[in-house]
Structure 1
Amino acid sequence: MTTSATSETPLIEVKPALNIAGLAVGYGGVPAVRDLNAHVRAGEILALLGPNGAGKTTTLLASVGALPALSGTITALGEPLDRRVEANARRGIILVPDSRGVFHRLSVDDNLRLARRKHGPSVDDVFDYFPALRSMRSRRCGTLSGGEQQMLALAKALLCAPKILLVDELSLGLSPIAVEGLLPRLRQIADDQHMAVVLVEQHIELALSIADTAVVLHHGRSVMSGSATELRGRRDMVEAAYFGSVEEPSGDRTGVPERQ
């Protein structure tokens, strides 16, 4: 007697490009982030949301090796994170800081030339994402607007051939129009380059519109997390979590808090 198979082909689990497990990290031995769990896969965008002082930048610094973990682990590209920032950068873990990291006295061209790697993308490749920079190649960076400097900062990061791109406060000091132009471009880059992106952002709605998943931090703890689509549908709860009006879940703090 013959039998037909009824079970479906098992799904292949895609491991995260960046995995943060039980992370505690801070300054002078005092944790600014506690028991954080988060991950992002290649081609996905994880948005870290929360007010000033919530621990978002601290998380990014730990994720590139600039701050040592007090406890917990960070795994990047299948291996433990190195304690040296430069070693992690060579592996493709690149941070765009909120200061943008551009040299104001140098030209756009010189900034890009200094950032380019031997076997990385060409300048023309990054101009495809930021065509407005083509006409600014000879201009000193200090004469650019905030939005133009942020484009340059992202272009410099792309020249480093990142596999994991961490962007701190992309919209800081920018007009709403500039932000609305840059965030979709970041989504395009993640899709085209199959790149894992962690985005720290103050604009909740815009961040959730391009992200795949999100974590809301408050006082160093994750108070809400889930798919960006779900969180957009629960905007009232997201705002409550953002301002600390949602009680912190006990135990595993990942996952959207239970609805009342």
Structure 2
Amino acid sequence: MSTSATSETPRVEVQPALHLDGLTVGYGGVPAVRELNAQVRAGEILALLGPNGAGKTTTLLAAVGALPTLSGSITALGEPLDRRVEANARRGIILVPDSRGVFHRLSVDDNLRLARRKHGPTLDDVFDYFPALRSMRARRCGTLSGGEQQMLALAKALLCAPKILLVDELSLGLSPIAVEGLLPRLRQIADDQQMAVVLVEQHIELALSIADSAVVLHHGRAVLSGAATELRGRRDMVEAAYFGNVEAPSGDRTGATLPAG
């Protein structure tokens, strides 16, 4: 006669790749983002939503070390964020700015080769995600469409072997068709590379369709946060938060929160 015992496998808590804890940051000592709590794990996408001036870009600049924190903390890849942007970039914390950061007078090929790191991803690796760039290698970047330049900007970032990828306004100036093609590709990259992604985006529905979680900012404060699937089901609440019509519960400075899934 045999006996068997069953036991629950203990759940291993996965630490965030990027953790913002009570982050207050701004310019010239004046806060633009106040007491922000947010986190994203490897393989996940966090969407930062909100109107212009809400503090989304400021948050990304702080997360790469380009702005000093006024209070709170930023932990990246298990360690406090370095104050030097270049040191953080070497650790794999990479920003794709809203300006895209491409050299318009150089060819696509030259842009990519300048971004490539020794022992890092190859050009073929990024062409697997953006095959259209392969046929554009000889073209001068300034002749590309907005969508093609954004593809190039993402490809350059991938060549830096990011562990945390921060993307500012991916859809800025792009047609809806271009955006609908790029956002699912970003989801694929996060899944394949187990890369933590923070996406600043104006297209709420499209951002929530690929994100795991989201935070809505208004006037520098988080007014709503939760799992993307939950937020998609509460579009009325998301839109209200977007325009500042959702107030934080009494005693809660982080804003209204929906279940994390």
Using structure 1 for the length normalisation, give the TM-score: 0.96
Residues 16-67 of structure 1, C-alpha deviations (whole Å, 9 max, x = no match)? 0000000000000000000000000000000000000000000000000000
Task: Check whether the contact 1:65–1:81 (CA below 8 A) recurs between aligned residues.
Answer: yes
Cα displacement (A) at 1:208: 0.2
* Separation in structure 1 between the aligned mates of residue 4 and residue 248 of structure 2, nearest angstrom: 48
Partner of 2:163: 163
TM-fit CA distance, 1:247: 1.1
Residues of 1 paired with 2:209 and 2:252: CA distance? 29
Displacement of 1:9 in angstroms is: 2.1
1:11 matched to 2:11: yes
| 8 Å Cα contact 1:223-1:257 kept in structure 2 | no
1:97 and 1:35 mapped to 2: Cα distance? 23
Corresponding residue for residue 86 of structure 1: 86
Aligned: 1:37 with 2:37: yes
Distance in 1 (CA, whole Å) between partners of 2:214 and 2:220 is 15
Q: Deviations over 1:104-141 (max 9, x none)?
A: 00000000000000011000100000000011000000
Per the alignment, residue 97 of structure 1 pairs with 97
Instruction: Note closer, same or farther for the CA distance 1:112–1:214 as it changes in structure 2 (3 Å cut).
Output: same
Q: Which runs of 5+ in 1 are unaligned?
A: none
Moved more, 215-224 or 245-254: 245-254
Distance 2:245 2:223 in 1: 10
Amino acid at match of 1:163: K
Contact in 2 for aligned 1:163/1:195 (Cα 8 Å):
yes
Deviation (angstroms), 1:248: 2.7
Instruction: Give the CA deviation at 1:255.
Output: 5.1
Residue type of the partner of 1:224?
Answer: L
Partner of 2:198, secondary structure, is strand
Cα contact 1:37–1:254 (8 A) shared by 2: no
1:109 corresponds to which residue? Answer: 109
Q: Secondary structure at the match of 1:248?
A: coil
Q: Which moved more, 1:246-255 or 1:65-74?
A: 246-255
In structure 1, how many angstroms separate the alpha carbons of the residues matched to 2:58 and 2:16?
20
Secondary structure of 1:128 counterpart: helix
Query: Who is 2:61 aligned against?
Result: 61
TM-score, normalised via structure 2 length: 0.95
What is the alpha-carbon distance in structure 1 between the residues aligned to residue 24 and residue 98 of structure 2? 22
CA contact (8 A) 1:38 1:254 kept: no
Report if aligned partners of 1:130, 1:151 keep a CA contact under 8 Å in 2: yes
Q: Contact between 2:247 and 2:255, CA under 8 Å: does it hold in 1?
A: no
- Match of residue 256 from structure 1: 257
Coordinate RMSD, CA, aligned: 1.5
Secondary structure of 2:257 counterpart: coil
AA matched with 1:80: P
The answer to which of 32-41 and 246-255 deviates more is 246-255
Counterpart AA for 1:251: D
Change (3 A) 1:68 1:5: farther
Shift of residue 257 of structure 1? Answer: 6.3
The equivalent of 2:134 in structure 1 is 134
Q: Which residue of 2 aligns with 1:146?
A: 146
Looking at structure 2, the residues matched to 6 and 137 of structure 1 have their Cα atoms a distance apart, in angstroms, of 58
Q: Percent identity between the aligned chains?
A: 88
Number of residues of Structure 1 aligned to a counterpart in Structure 2? 256
Query: Gaps (5+ residues) in structure 2?
Result: none
Q: Is the 8 A contact 1:100 1:149 kept in 2?
A: yes
